[in-house]
């Protein structure tokens, strides 16, 4: 079994779960989560194993981590295990009162069946009434309202959750998303920072805070301080080193970034995202052969990730191998890569091979999404000059 591949480990966890061997299932699930943070299937397996052992707070924490992602499990057998466990818990709900956990379980099932909103809300309301993790009960009520389009009610429930527990990161981030959708960057920052201060070592929260600092505010100084603080607190945390490398890359300190990424590789599993980050820095440093190898490893780890294909396209373009460059960049586009910084490279490659109509269409899309993009504006000007020259010749 490949030690860096979580899938066989999750399969072992499933086998143990089917045999009602909770301890072994939890051990395998924990290992899978080391290899791939917050893996949805592993979190659900852990939740089921904890719930069957009566460890309801631990099961609830597993579910909370899973439900903050906009995705579901990949394995039908995991879904069936959750469904079975929900029924078992309901049968003993009156005696053991796992109300908040049941609310979260039905909230999960609501992803497949909207009628589960009713049971989710009822159990969550009961959890609030009896004081069974009342703040998390309010979060479930908020999630139910939000999924039904009742934004004001959702925000009221998030506020109630924070009244019970001001450090509830799910409620803080829920409110932050609401303000982000309204374009209220100051409130989004305040709430995301509060979530980070409440739990700075939660990688999901730390990543959300870093995203706000870098992408919304351009506050690289604070982002660097937060990333350096995470590494200082947990020097063997691979993801903390990866986040530090991201900030250093943005700051143009590419050698420091490469060192941080290499430290992350030594401490944790090699992921496609990490290999891609290494490759980008190597490309910037002019270490093209090493960059090409890193992009190749990223593709091997995740063939559906578009970024490495764009990276290989940039490498081929640098060497003026335009056919290879276009093949890789168009593959990145076909795989769903729509990041402006990547797509503008594809636009430039169209221009270089004389596909001026494709270049014009491509750059129009770039500037529609990012009107101030410097490379896009420069290419648009070249396209316009060429069009005027062609018109004059006619």
Whether the per-residue pLDDT at 15 is higher than 90: the answer is: yes
Is 378 part of a structural domain of the chain? yes
Specify the higher pLDDT residue, 117 or 391: 117
pLDDT per position as a tens digit, 277-300: 999 999 999 999 999 999 999 999
**Rounded Cα gap, residues 108 and 66, in angstroms:** 9
The closest alpha carbon to 224, from 201, 195, 244, 250, belongs to: 244
Give how many domains the chain has, as a whole number: 1
Please state the length of the chain: 394
pLDDT, mean of residues 143-151: 93
Gap between the Cα atoms of 215 and 219, Å rounded: 9
CA pair distance 211, 205, nearest whole angstrom:
10
224 pLDDT higher than 80: yes
69 occurs within a structural domain? no
- Which helix (H) or strand (E) is 195 found in, with range? helix 185-198
The count of other CB atoms within 10 Å of the CB of residue 97 is 15
Environment class of 177 (CB within 10 Å of its CB; exposed 0-12, middle 13-18, buried 19+) = middle
Higher pLDDT, 95 or 55: 55
Mean pLDDT of 363-388: 93
The range of the structural domain enclosing residue 360 comes to 338-394
Token pair listed for 201 = 């070592």
Euclidean distance between CA atoms 197 and 335, whole angstroms: 37
Residue 215 structure tokens = 């992408």
Please report the pLDDT score of residue 4 as a whole number: 67
Q: pLDDT tens digits for 170-188?
A: 999 999 999 999 999 999 9
pTM: 0.79
Q: Is 82 contained in some domain?
A: no
Q: Kindly state whether residue 356 falls inside one of the protein's structural domains.
A: yes
Which residue bears the tokens 């795989």?
Answer: 335
Q: Is residue 358 part of a domain?
A: yes
- Both structure tokens of 89: 């818990």
- pLDDT, tens digit (0-9, with 9 covering 90-100), for 308-366: 999 999 999 999 999 999 999 999 999 999 999 999 999 999 999 999 999 999 999 99
Residue 295's contacts (CB-CB under 8 Å, 6 or more residues apart) are 275, 276, 279, 308, 311, 312, 315
Q: What is the mean pLDDT of residues 108-119?
A: 92
Report the alpha-carbon distance of residue 22 to residue 51 in Å, rounded.
Answer: 10
Q: What contacts 218, CB < 8 A, 6 or more positions away?
A: none
d(CA 277, CA 42): 26
Q: Is residue 61 part of a domain?
A: no
Any domain includes 296: no
Residue 392 lies in a domain: yes
For 22, 252, 367, 370, the CA distances from 374, given in Å and listed in that order, are 56, 18, 9, 9
């Amino acid at each position: 079994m490949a030690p860096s591949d979580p899938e066989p480990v999750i399969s072992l966890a499933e086998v143990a779960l089917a045999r009602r061997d909770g301890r072994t299932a939890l051990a395998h699930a924990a290992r899978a989560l080391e290899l791939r943070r917050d893996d949805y299937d592993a979190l659900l397996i852990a939740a089921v194993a904890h719930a069957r052992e009566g460890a309801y707070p631990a099961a609830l924490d597993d579910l909370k981590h899973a439900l903050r992602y906009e995705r579901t499990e990949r394995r039908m057998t995991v879904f069936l295990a959750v469904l079975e466990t929900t029924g078992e818990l309901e049968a003993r709900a009156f005696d053991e009162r796992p109300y908040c956990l049941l609310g979260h379980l039905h909230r999960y099932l609501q992803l497949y069946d909207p009628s589960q909103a009713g049971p989710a809300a009822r159990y969550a309301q009961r959890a609030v009434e009896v004081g069974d993790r009342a703040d998390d009960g309010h979060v479930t009520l908020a999630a139910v309202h939000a999924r039904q389009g009742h934004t004001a009610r959702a925000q009221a429930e998030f506020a109630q959750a924070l009244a019970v527990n001001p450090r509830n990161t799910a409620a803080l981030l829920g409110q932050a998303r609401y303000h982000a959708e309204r374009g209220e960057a100051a409130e989004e920052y305040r709430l995301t920072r509060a979530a980070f201060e409440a739990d700075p070592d939660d990688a999901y929260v730390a990543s959300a805070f870093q995203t706000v600092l870098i992408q919304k505010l351009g506050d690289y100084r604070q982002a660097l301080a937060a990333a350096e603080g995470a590494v200082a607190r947990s020097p063997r945390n691979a993801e903390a080193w990866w986040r530090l490398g991201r900030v250093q890359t943005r700051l143009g300190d590419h050698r420091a970034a490469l060192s941080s990424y290499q430290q992350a590789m030594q401490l944790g599993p090699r992921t496609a995202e990490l290999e891609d980050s290494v490759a980008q820095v190597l490309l910037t440093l002019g270490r093209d052969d090493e960059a090409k190898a890193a992009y190749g490893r990223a593709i091997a780890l995740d063939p559906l990730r578009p970024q490495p294909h764009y990276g290989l396209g940039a490498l081929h373009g640098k060497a003026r191998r335009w056919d290879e460059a276009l093949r890789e960049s168009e593959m990145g586009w076909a795989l769903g890569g729509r990041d402006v910084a990547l797509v503008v490279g594809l636009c430039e490659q169209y221009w270089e091979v004389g596909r001026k109509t494709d270049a014009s269409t491509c750059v129009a899309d770039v500037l529609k999404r990012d009107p101030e993009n410097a490379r896009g504006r420069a290419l648009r000007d070249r396209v316009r000059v060429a069009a005027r020259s062609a018109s004059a010749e006619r």
